[in-house]
Amino acid sequence: MATFPERLQKTSRHFLLTHPMIKLLHRSFLPVAFALLFALPACAAATKKSPARKRTAAPEPKADPLEDLAAGRVPSVRAASVLVIDARRGDVLYEKNADQRRAPASTQKLLTALVIIESGNLDKPVHAEAIDAACEPVKLGLKPGDVYTRRQLLEILLVHSTNDVARCLARDNAGSVEAFATRMNRTAAALGAEDSHFVNPNGLPATGQYSTARDMARIAQAAYANRTIRSIVATKVLAFRYDDGHVTDFKNTNRVLLNYPLCNGMKTGYTEAAGKCLIASGSHEGRDVIAVVLGDTVSSIWKDAYALLAWGLAR
């Protein structure tokens, strides 16, 4: 039986070169086939190294998303909830359990970024405090007295998904995480995301915190329309300068962005309760698409998100 990388190569090449849906995009999509042949197999191999974790997963689909993509069908994915929209008009292109309440994990950092940007003055210095580090697991390692601008913290928040940075920005913005959550909920409601409730700025598990694929799509659409956020989430490698002057390169956590040329953002997420989550955006010849994928598995998230995004851009 063919391995996933071999099937990916075969279906990607067939879809990109022969399917009627893609003929008009042929010239631009051709590089994607070569990128996928070399990059995504490496991603697949990398996921094999991750220790298996027991959790309730969506049933195995009868069809494969890459085979569906090659045949011009909506990709059948393992994710619990999915919504694919036109990023400009908001038109729904495909949905699966889009109104099911789920933990969105770190994808909600897009909302955190929107609230921070609404306050303006992104060059304002932010002083880190000890309370900012009261979280796990992904952290920048903020120390009391460190000073960064809001812009610097937003960049590392969205590229590397640092949870202590989310808390630092929230405290600086509203005085406390709790007060910031109130602002998050107010902003979400203004965007039409009324079936959501946010408790913290980083998406770590919290009682009473939930959203839906539909609501996260509304939040993502607003984030996509913001030039600052668009620029940050498209960053593949961020050279971050620490307070002490040393610089470290951080690779974006979004593997679809790293391996699919038409992807231009947005945000990853993962907790045991939420499963693998990804909001991915892409653009081609005036068409902009956002795919929200919640409650997926370690082995399927990148393949599912890529297939949905490619399908949406080819419509």
Contact assessment for residue 16 and residue 29, using Cβ atoms and an 8 Å cutoff: yes
Contact assessment for residue 45 and residue 254, using Cβ atoms and an 8 Å cutoff: no
Rounded CA separation 264/268 (Å):
13
Contact assessment for residue 154 and residue 162, using Cβ atoms and an 8 Å cutoff: no
81 is catalytic: no
Rounded CA separation 193/215 (Å):
4
Rounded CA separation 116/127 (Å):
15
| Residue showing tokens 């059948």 | 76
From 12, 81, 109, 196, active-site residue: 109
161 is catalytic: yes
From 12, 81, 161, 281, active-site residue: 161
12 is catalytic: no
Contact assessment for residue 290 and residue 278, using Cβ atoms and an 8 Å cutoff: no
From 12, 106, 283, 300, active-site residue: 106
Active site residue ranges: 106, 109, 161
